[in-house]
Chains A and B, each alone.
Chain A
Amino acid sequence: MEAWIQFLQFLVNALSLGGLYALMALGLALVYSILRLVNFAYGELVMVGGYTLLVVGQAANIPWLIVAALAIFVAVVTSLLLERVAFRPVRHASPNTMLITSFAVSTLLQNAALLFVSPRTRAVRIPSFFIENIRVGGLLISKSNIVTLVVSLAMLGLLTVFLRRTILGSALRAAADDFVMTRLLGIRANVVIATAFAISGCLAGVVSLFWIGRSGSVIPQIGLTPVLIAFVASVIGGMGSLAGAVVGGYMLGFVTIALNTLLPQDLLEFRQAFVFALVILVLLFRPQGLISGAYSAERI
C-alpha cells in the first residue's frame, strides 16, 4: 500500500516535470527541424514571458489567466520579431552564422533585462494553486504538478492535431524533411519559418508560466536552465525529430525525479552530475539520439 502510493506520487511528479521539459525541448526542436538552427535565444523567450508576468502581474486586479495569456502573447510576438529582425537576414548564411546570431540575440536580451528591469531576483505574483497541495487518500500532490501535467499533455495534443490535420502542419513536417522541395510545391518559406517561430514562442510562453511558477521569481538569467534542458532533451531524443524531443524531455524529467527520490541526502546536490552522466551514457550507445530523423540522412 505504502509503496503503491509512493509510486503514484513519483509518477505524477515525473510526468509533470517531464511534460514541462518536453514542451521546452519541442520549442527548440521545431525551429531546428526546419532551419537547422539551435536557437539559443529560446531561453530569453521564457525570460520575456517571465518579465511580462512580473510587470503585468504588479498591476492590481488583473486575473492571473489574463496575465498568463499576455505572457504567452508577448513571447510569441518576441519570437516572431527575432525571426524577422535577427534570423531572416542571415537565413542563407552558414549554420554557424545563425548559431552565433542566436548567442548574440540571447546576450542582448539578457542585458536589456539587466539594464531596464533589474539585475536582482524579483518576486512574481503567482496564483495560489502553485503552492497548494491536495490530499487523495494517503497521497499528497501539489496542484501545480497536476496543472503542469494536464497543460503539457493538452499542448502536445493540440500540436499533434495541428501537425497532422492541417495543410500548414503537413507543410511544416515536409519542410523538416526537404525545405527546397516544399518551396517547389509553392509553399512560402517565410510562412513556414514564421509559423515555426510562433509555435516555438508559444511553447516558451507556456513554459515560462510553470517555470516561474515553480520558483515564484524572475531574474535575467532565468532562461539559461530551460534552454539547456531543451537542448539536452532534444539531443538525447535525436536532434531534428519532434517525437524525439518529446521522448527526451519526458526521459529527462523521469530521471531527474527518480534521482531525487533514490539518491541519499548527501548526494542530492550532485543530482545534475548524475543526470548528465546518464546523458553521456545514452549518447555513447546511440550517438544519433533515441529517435533519429530516420530519413534526413537520405537527403541529397
Chain B
Amino acid sequence: MLVLEDVHVRYGAIAALRGVSLHVEQGEIVGLIGVNGAGKSTTLMTIAGVLQPSKGRILFGGQSILGRPPEDILRKGIALVPEGRRIFPGLTVAENLRLGASIRSDRSEIQRDLEEMCERFPVLADRLGQAAGTLSGGEQQQLAIARGLMSRPALLMLDEPSLGLAPQLVEEIFELVAQLHEAGVTVLLVEQNVDRTLEIADRAYLLNTGEVEFEGAARELRERVDFVSAYLGGPG
C-alpha cells in the first residue's frame, strides 16, 4: 500500500533521514519507534508532503506521490495526525471536525460521520460548540484523531498520540487505535511508548539516527535481546 525506498531528507546541512525504506500493507498496524531525533516525525512529515526528500521514492497504491503537496497527499487517502495535536484552538470542536472533511462534498455522509465521531468520542459530543482550545490535552488528542478520520483516509498516520497524557488516557488511546484497526483502518503509528506499541502493532521499524536499524514482526522485535540496548543506548 505504502512503500518508501531509500528516502533521504535533509534540514539544511543535517541529514535527518539517511536512506529509510519501509512499507505498510493494507489493514496493518505498523509501529515506528526510536529515540528522540531518530527521524520518526520526519518520516511521517515526508510521507504527508510537508517535507521533500532529497533522494528516494515514495509510492502509495503503486503510484509515486513524491513531490506532491500535502493537499494532494490527503486526497490520495493518507491522513496525518501530527505531533502536538495541532487542533485549531480558536475554532469550535464542530468546525475542527468539519474542516477534516473539507475535501468531501457529500453533506449527508459528512453529517453521519460527525455523529459517528460523537458516538466514538463522547467527550466531543458534549462540546461541539465549544472552542477547541478549551479542551483538555486528552480531549484535544481525541479531537485530532477524529478530525483525521473525517476525511475517511485509507491510511492514518499518528505521531505520538499518547505524548503528555495521563496513564489511563494513554490506555484509551491505544485501545482506540486497536478499535480503528478492527474497523479496517490501516495505521502507521509513531510512538515513544514502545511496549504498548509493540503489543498492538503487526510489524515495527526501529529508527536510529535517520536509518532503519531493525524491522520485523512486533513479537520478534520484543524478543530481541539487543533491542533494548539499541533503543536505550543509541545516540540522540
Interface residues of A (CB under 8 A from B): 167, 170-171, 173-174, 176-178, 180-189, 294-295, 298, 300
Contact = CB atoms under 8 A, between A and B. Distances in A.
B102 interface: yes
Contacts of A171: 99, 102
Given A180-B70, A181-B82, A187 B102 contact: yes
Q: How large is the interface on B (under 10, 10 to 19, 20 to 34, 35 or more residues)?
A: 20 to 34
A174 B91 contact: yes
Interface string B27-58: 00000000000000000000010100000000
Given A184-B48, A185-B151, A294-B133, 20 more contacts: A167-B102, A170-B99, A171-B99, A171-B102, A173-B88, A174-B91, A174-B95, A174-B99, A176-B90, A177-B90, A183-B71, A184-B79, A184-B80, A185-B74, A185-B147, A186-B70, A186-B74, A186-B102, A187-B102, A188-B71
A2 B96 CA distance: 53
Contacts of A294: 89-90, 133
B99 A184 contact: no
Contacts of B83: 300
Can you list the 6 inter-chain pairs with the closest CB atoms, starting with the nearest? A186-B74, A186-B103, A295-B89, A183-B70, A174-B88, A181-B86
Contacts of B82: 181, 184
A186 B79 CA distance: 9
Contact of B102 (A181, A185, A189, A295): A185
Interface of B: 48, 50, 69-71, 74-75, 79-80, 82-84, 86, 88-91, 95-96, 98-100, 102-103, 133, 147, 151
Contacts of A186: 70-71, 74-75, 102-103, 151
B69 A170 contact: no
Given A167-B98, A174-B99, A184-B50, A300 B86 contact: yes
Nearest to B74: A186
Nearest to B80: A184
Contacts of B99: 167, 170-171, 174, 182, 185, 187
A189 B50 CA distance: 12
Nearest to A299: B86
B151 A178 contact: no
B70 A184 contact: yes
A177 B91 contact: yes
Contact of A300 (B84, B100, B133): B84
A189 B69 contact: yes
Contacts of B151: 185-186
Nearest to B76: A186
A185 B81 CA distance: 9
Contacts of B79: 184
A169 to B, nearest CB: 9
Nearest to B70: A183
A170 B147 contact: no
A187 B91 contact: no
B71 A189 contact: yes
Contacts of B80: 184
